[in-house]
Amino acid sequence: MANNKLHFETLQLHVGQEQADPATDARAVPIYATTSYVFRDSQHAADRFGLRDAGNIYGRLTNSTQDVFEKRIAALEGGVAALATASGAAAITYTIQALAKAGENIVASKTIYGGTYNLLAHTLPLYGITTKFADPEDESSFEAAIDENTKALYIETLGNPNSNAIDIEKIANIAHKHNIPLALYVLSNTVLILLYIRQLNSLAVTELLSAALSLTAAISTGRSPDAIRGYQSLIQATTA
């Protein structure tokens, strides 16, 4: 399916499941409640675990239902691929760890969700990744905080809990101007629907999707192939 030729509404319904379920002809995406998969023989298993053969390996790595979700969100975001996680904190942690290593830093808005602030200010420094906080009301403060070890700028579409709106385009221009590796900023979006921020191209985005009944899913969508490879390497390492 040529996603770039489809309208947003069509992408919501069909990406990831362009054909009906081959086993049942079901139109809706089946829910695969499994943790494990069958291999034809030992070589098949070796090829799967060695990533020489694309396919399901184990539930914490891949799931067919989750795969449709990831492809659909990536298409709605205009991204290369996406990685779904069980919580917003996991999505943010994976994203930062995929971008920065010990001795490197990110620059973040100082008006962000408290849990994220604690992650950046207190937890990640234990692993050598530091954060410099900038004033979302003064975009120049982001630029002033950037140095040769800065790997990303981190902002929220609407600051939590202040609901302050930041000039996303200006932050994006600053990131590109300074040629930050991956030319990237990370955007956390808890409130706005995807359609409203889809026009912000060529940037990796961390999406926090609040579902009904206070259930939370989270997904990191990468518009850079390098970012996606970072996500993949990280999740393979952390789930081994």
Q: Is the pLDDT of residue 10 over 50?
A: yes
- DSSP reduced 3-state for 82: strand
Question: Domain 64-238 carries which CATH code?
Answer: 3.40.640.10
| Residue 187 confidence (pLDDT) | 59
Q: Which of 6-15, 75-84, 114-123, 207-216 has the highest mean pLDDT?
A: 114-123
* CB of 187 closer than 8 Å to CB of 197: yes
Mean pLDDT of the chain: 76
* CB of 68 closer than 8 Å to CB of 86: no
Q: Which of 7-11, 89-93, 115-119, 188-192 has the highest mean pLDDT?
A: 115-119
Q: Which two tokens stand for residue 61?
A: 């790595």
pTM, entire model: 0.72
Max Cα distance, the chain (Å):
60
Over residues 186-211, the mean pLDDT reads 47
Over residues 220-234, the mean pLDDT reads 49
**Residue that wins the pLDDT comparison between 10 and 228:** 10
| Residue 3 confidence (pLDDT) | 57
Q: Which two tokens stand for residue 159?
A: 């600051």
pLDDT-derived band at 95 (thresholds 50, 70, 90) equals confident
The full DSSP string for 87-119 is SHHHHHHHHHHHH--TT-EEEEESSS-HHHHHI
| Residue 83 confidence (pLDDT) | 79
Q: Is the pLDDT of residue 127 over 90?
A: yes
pLDDT-derived band at 122 (thresholds 50, 70, 90) equals very high
Q: Which two tokens stand for residue 222?
A: 């990468």
Query: pLDDT by residue (tens digit) across 136-194?
Result: 999 999 999 999 999 989 888 778 788 888 888 888 889 889 988 543 446 555 555 45
| Residue 1 confidence (pLDDT) | 52
* Phi, psi angles (nearest 5°) of residue 219: -150, 135
Total Cβ atoms within 10 A of residue 79: 26
